[in-house]
Structure 1
Amino acid sequence: MDEILLRVRDLRVAYPGGVPAVRGVDLELAAGQRLGLAGESGSGKSTLALALLRLLPPGTLVTGRAELHGQDLLGLPWGRLRAVRWAGASVVFQGAMHALNPVHRIGEQLAEPILLHERGVRRPAARRRAGELLEQVGLPAARARAYPHELSGGQRQRVMIAMALACSPDLVIADEPTTALDVMVQAQILELLGRLVGERGIGLLMISHDLAVLAETCDRIAVMYSGRIVEEGPAGSLFTDAAHPYSAALGSAFPRIGDPAARMRPRGLPGDPPDPLAPPPGCAFHPRCPSARPECARSDPALTAAGPGRRAACLLVGAGPAGPHVPRGLEEEEGSPA
């Protein structure tokens, strides 16, 4: 069995004012594995990721455990946590233009974590390493002298990936790494990230609202809704044969190009995610669920086995195979053009 790199147990996050954002999440990530975290905006994906390295704003209440190599990150003193950041686990932040310092050259920003975390490394050596990192992500070493505004969006995202790998961490958290990039650059960034992670044997936690991207990039996918994991399983089977109606709705929101048998258009999901301060009774998804039953408003199911290596939090799982679900009123009529 592969070594468990990251183990999350009963993670709960509440923002100031008691606003719950993550509600009892359990996750495991093996060394060298790629785990996708999917869900709509507001489902708690980024909050969960930032909570792992305690990057949330002051006043946020975080409970539970988040173990990296068996060491609980949530209980570490600040001095030891600082040593883990970048060297043990790093983040590719969403929106590279906002994550990079606009008044410092790219090379200086790449050299900074190396100087902070690697003893005995002098500035000239750190600068050389910065140039090597840029070349590894497909940029000329000379771009180290550029400022962030002199780079394109795709180039800035490559810099963020290079920075995340600067100190050879065991875990990389990629928070929407292809946001605002065109599809060609997006494909290049995803291929680059997957290749570098594979070459180095790094664990990857990749966050996205796009289930199709995660299915192509990751080994496993966990789907979040209203701060909870509602389904988890192998990427391919979860995307093509979801056990939870919400996972199926996410998959139906994107076209399957090149699959004439699918004959489907992207479909929306009616309604809005629930108010975290006033969640509905029972299953949080039941007001929007096309397969909801009366008992769904009374029971909030836990994750249960839904096939080989799969779990889903849905009453339909216990009643038999749920299969893919299509929101009512959004099905394509038989014989409609693809």
Structure 2
Amino acid sequence: MRALVFSSFGGPLSVQEVPVPEPAPGGVVVRVAASGVCRSDWHAWQGHDPDVVLPHVPGHELAGTVAAVGEGVRRWRPGDRVTVPFVNACGRCPQCAAGEHQVCTRQTQPGFTHWGSLAEFVALDAADVNLVAVPEALDLATAAALGCRYATAFRAVAHVGRVRPGEWVAVHGCGGVGLSAVQIAAAAGARVVAVDVAPGALDLARELGAEHTVDGGGDVPAAVGELTGGGAHVSLDALGAPVTCANSVRSLRPRGRHVQVGLLPPEQGRAEVPMERVIALELQVLGSHGMAAHAYPELLGLIAAGRLDPHRLVTRELPLDDAPAALAQVGRQPGIAVVTSFSRVSPAG
């Protein structure tokens, strides 16, 4: 199969021929129809994830059709249209028994613990626990975005941040997950302030429902405080950087809720959380890590009802041959880039 491969951290990215995976017991192999190019894939390439073993195929945000089924799989057959959370839960540990699959202690993650979905085929574990059926009305390019950025934002806004109508929500970082959070929070009836350093990202945030936008290069907490009349009720760091984390906490009004969504790799510096402010204002500091497969029906129902439209976040569809450049330049163009063609591109003429 053709796959995007890197053999050194931060080194060359190239499309190569590699072996097709076999399904593990309880697992499946999916023929990939679409795979997002995500900042988390960039972190894997840079060596920020200890699970990555070289050489490596990144990619964790996917949709496609089941190609092969391992021993013991009961719910899925070849040809089924599926997506999957980026956290593949084991289904057997105490966290899984409590329904908290997104913090499974024995989780696997395509594109991190094993080869991922920027390839023609990808192996997925514990299929009966992790696979999500994709409705026929939902195109697979849009479904791919649900596996990480959109579903992650949905849980962060709706379940962890508990955003309510009329509340002020600040979103720090308007990449794929941040823009998803903007749309989801606005659809929930919140008043959204979007923060980023890129004018194009802020323009798209306004199109997706942000009431105000703020240049992230300035005094962000002061700007958010002025626009919201005292600070946000909920503030999300959707980028994952020391400055956005600190700005998010400092943007809150008393008893506000900070939700950390973006990864904070120690290699990029430790975030300094102003705990004196957390105590004095009784702030809540919350983490949010993906969304379990069993929680997808609520999200899919809102999409089917037209209340949410993740397709608007997909701004580019690419061939696999363009994935190396897209991964190297992740974050430079607003919206979500999705690889939707995996065959070799014939030269013109």
Same fold (TM over 0.5): no
The higher radius of gyration belongs to 1
Length-normalised TM-score, structure 1:
0.28
